Every structure is written in C-alpha cells, then in structure tokens.
Amino acid sequence: MQKTLFHLAALSVLFYLMAAPTFAAMRIDLNQQQNLNLPATAPAPTEFKEISRTQDANHMTHIRLQQTYQGYPVWGGEAVIHTQAIMPTLKTFALRQSNQAYTSNGVIFKGLNIDLAGAPVAIFTADQAAIAYARILKEYLAKNRATTAVTQPHHQLLVYLDANGNAHWAYLISFVVDAALPAKPTFIVDAENFSIYKKWDDVKTLEPIAAGGFGGNKKTGKLAYDAIGDDLPALKMQRNSLQKLCYIQNDEVIVKDTRVNDALVTFTCPTKDARHNEYWDDDLDAVNGAYSPSNDALYAGNVIKSMYQDWYHVPVLVDRSGAPMRLVMRVHEPIENAYWFSNQMTFGDGGHDFYPLVSLEVAGHEVSHGFTEQHSDLIYEAQSGGLNEAFSDMAAQAVQFYSTGRNTWEIGGEILKSNQSLRYLDEPTKDCALGKKPGNDCSIDNLKDYNAALDVHYSSGVFNKLFYLLSTSKDWDTRKAFDVMVRANVVYWTSSVNFVDAACGAIRAAKDLGYDPQAVKSAALTVGINTNNCV
C-alpha cells in the first residue's frame, strides 16, 4: 500500500490540540478525548504520515497515522481514525465530513516546536548520525565483549519525548549481532551528546533462556501424524516422484535445518508405509528426547496459519506486497531457546532443562510476534513490550484451543523437563519461587506491581491474567477473548501503548464485535487497570 504524507491542517476535526502552542511539548491521549468539530488550523511543520488503512466487515475504515515533525517521526506519536465515511484522502474527510461521526485513539503531542527550536544544523547531517552509530556500536561491543559479525546497521533521526515530557532530537540506532542467539541491540540516543534515553533488544524471544521440546517428546509421549484413530492429522508435504524424495514443506510452511546451512529438510520416500498408509519418515531427526522436531514444526505452522485464516479470514503474516507469507520454521539451533526474528521462526534443540522447543504453543507464541510486528508493532520494552509478550502468550492458548478445544493456561509446560512451566496465565505469580515477591525476577498479575525495570516476560502477567479472566467469564471462551485482542492489535493499539490504553482498545474491540464490554472492564479492574476514563 502506498504511504502518503498529509498536513495536519487536513485533520482539523480530530487534532485541534495541535494549534499553536504557548508552552513545551504536551502528551495528548486521544482515548480520553471526545470527538468535536474544531477549527481547521494547525502549525507547520507538524504532519501525519499515513501508515495503513483497512476496512472491516462493518464498513468501518481504520487509518493508522504516524506523527512527524519537519518530516521526522515523533516516537510514540501515533493515532488511528475509525469512521464509516468514505476517505480517499484525509483532506476530503476534513472538507466533506466535518459532521460525520467517527472515533480515534492513540497518542499525539503538541508544542514540539518550543523544545526543538534552535537545534544545531549538524544533527541533520549523515556525518553526525554516523558518528553516533559508531560510538554506540563501539561501546556495545566493548561492554559485551562481542567479537561476532555485526550486520544490518541502522540509524534514523526522530523526535523523542523523555519521561518528563520534554522533546529532543534523537537517533534511533540498531544493529544485528550474529551469534548463537541473535541480538538486535536498539537504542534511542540524544542527537547532540549521544546520551542514551532508551535501549532494548528487539529480537523477540520466548524466554531469556533457551527452552526445548515441541509436539512429541518423552514428556508428552510419542505422537503420530497419520490420522488413524485418535492420532494427529497427516502432514501436508511435497514429494519429487522422480527422485523419490519428500520435502518437509508445503505452500504454507517450510522447515529448514540450521545444522546444514538452513537446508530444506528432506527424506527419501520411495513408497508408502504399509502400517500408516502414508509416506513415512519415522523419527526423522530425533534429538534430546524429541522424536522429530521437523515434523512437529510443520504441523504447528499449518495449525497457526489455519487458525488465523479460519477465525479472522486473514493471513497470520504478509509480505511487502500484502500477499500471504509462507512460514519459515528453522529447527535444530544449538540453543535452549526459541525466537522470532527477520520473518522466520527458530527453535533450539534444548539441553539439560528443555526438550527441543518445537511445540504448538511455542510456535503460536513466536509466530504471533510477527503478527504483532505487522499490525500494532508494539515496542519491545516497557508496558508495550509486556503487552507484546502477553499477546503472544494469548495466541499460544488460542492455538491450543483451536487444535484441542481446551487450555492448560501454561506456557512451556510441554518443553520443560521438570514438572514446571515457564509462565501461568491463570496465576502469573506462580513462577515466584522461594518466597520471591511479584516483580522480583518473576511475574506480576496486577498493574500496581509494575515498574519500568521489569523484563517484558514478567510484566506480561498483567494482560495474561486479564485474558484468562475474560476467557473464563460467563458466556465467554478462549476464542471470544482472543477475537477481542486480535481486533485491538489490528485496529486500536499503537506501538507505545500502555496497559490502560490497551485495555481501552480491548473494550472498543469488544463493542465492535457485539460482545459484552463490561466483561473486559471487569477483568481489567481485577488486574488493577481502571478503564473509567476510556471513551
């Protein structure tokens, strides 16, 4: 979809709050604003860049906008307009639909020019950006004693608002460190003195440690993909009849082996196996207590794609042209972890504590990081990062419900060699062992226990608990609850959304779907989120 740039004056009905300021930058939460018919003036150089627009089954158009200043993105400045008006351009909307009912959500900022005026010319040059990148890279490599190759260098000038609401010119800097477990260190640094405002690793992982096991190991028991009796369905593969070679791939999913330079996994298959009436690879790549991670990866990928398509009529992932993307599942990475990165899913072979990480719920979790990345693009730190992790945990439960009709409300139980799980949606603080308090290297389940230093896997407990409460409410189930979260992710959440605004988005999503919004409000309140100010 073509991205176009629109001047803020064309958004007068929505963004009157950008009128010429007399004070420093101010955060405007559109979830707290009523829709008013307001003046059509706003100061340049504030603009909005259209990121995407979609139309749903209710004929509502949803337009995502990125706030910019002098053409540079404003970090966290995003809005979504929801209207039934025909909007070929935002200017048309402003001129012809000034009385048209619509809603909006997100966060924008006014008064940026007060803080940003008088910036040195050097910060707008490529040389200054290169100096900032080189300094941050050097400091990172020295601190982490990294000697591996660094790829995908990136630096971008933007506007960043600090914790006190002051606007600064800053650079978004990132690079990829190629190691056993890839890392994508990401920084926001001051464009003048290079001091660091924020930093995080933008590789989405299941856990900071490696995990193992996926659909068929000594803990779950040996599974069979042959559709006989209570066995799992037969796998969809491709076969070369001349070479008598079967490929563990189909139009939806491809499985690659990291041990042999990401080669496609294959096996010889001259005839069908008489016992199973299928071409049979037996325990093709058994390792560390798992019988065939490649088979399990193929099965999981197909279930995940089918769930999103059957329930929501959308592909879980799309390519740049908007076409459905084939899932790439990489197995046998020599790590105890699983991660989503660069449009592909990688599963470790586990080790002492974990079976190979190829399980249905782990795959659902990781692939759904990609779904989030292509919609709300939740930033992987602070509360948005906790929500990012929580959505993937919700997806893991949704995939489980889609496949089996039930839920364990646990994450990682199938892959840990112990009797524990990595996380618990019904009782997130259950991972607080040895007398630890919530938030002390373990999960929280209430907003009151949140602090900015929490790992996103622990802060995810707030929305994980909310999802469990909603799923088990009267007249609700896992699918209905996930319906709400998927719509909120696609339509209402913005990349830096906090837990309160995310709950507001879920309430609006429930209303859109004709579900009882009070159930969402009640679940939110139980986890310490007050939604009384949502509009």
Among residues 366, 381, 389, 414, the one annotated as catalytic is 366
Among residues 62, 82, 332, 457, the one annotated as catalytic is 457
Beta bridge partner(s), residue 321: none
278 is catalytic: no
Q: How far is CA 409 from CA 222, 304, 404, 406, 522, in A?
A: 22, 18, 13, 9, 20
Beta bridge partner(s), residue 82: 62, 103
Q: Where are the beta strands (DSSP E) in 408-521?
A: 410-411, 423-424
CB contact set of 415 (below 8 Å; sequence gap of 6+): 211, 212, 213, 214, 217, 219, 350, 354, 355, 356, 357, 359, 362
3-state SS assignment for residue 363? helix
Q: How far is CA 297 from CA 228, 252, 432, in A?
A: 20, 12, 31
Look up residue 64 and give its DSSP letter. E
Q: How many CB atoms lie within 10 A of CB 59?
A: 8
**Sign of the C-alpha dihedral, residues 314, 31, 500, 517?**
negative
Q: Print burial letters for 210-241: b (CB count within 10 Å at least 16), e (below 16).
A: bbbbbbbbebbeebbbbeeeeebebbebeeee
Please say whether the beta carbons of 149 and 108 come within 8 A.
no
The CA-CA-CA angle for residues 456, 450, 437, to 5°, reads: 95
Q: Print burial letters for 105-138: b (CB count within 10 Å at least 16), e (below 16).
A: bbbbbbbbbebbeeeeeebeeeebbeebbeebbe
Please give the Cα distance from 58 to 84 (Å, whole number).
9
Please give the Cα distance from 471 to 496 (Å, whole number).
25
366 is catalytic: yes
Please give the Cα distance from 523 to 527 (Å, whole number).
7
Q: Where are the beta strands (DSSP E) in 165-240?
A: 167-177, 185-190, 196-201, 204-205, 238-240
129 phi and psi, to 5 degrees? Answer: -65, -40
3-state SS assignment for residue 491? helix
Catalytic residue set: 366, 457
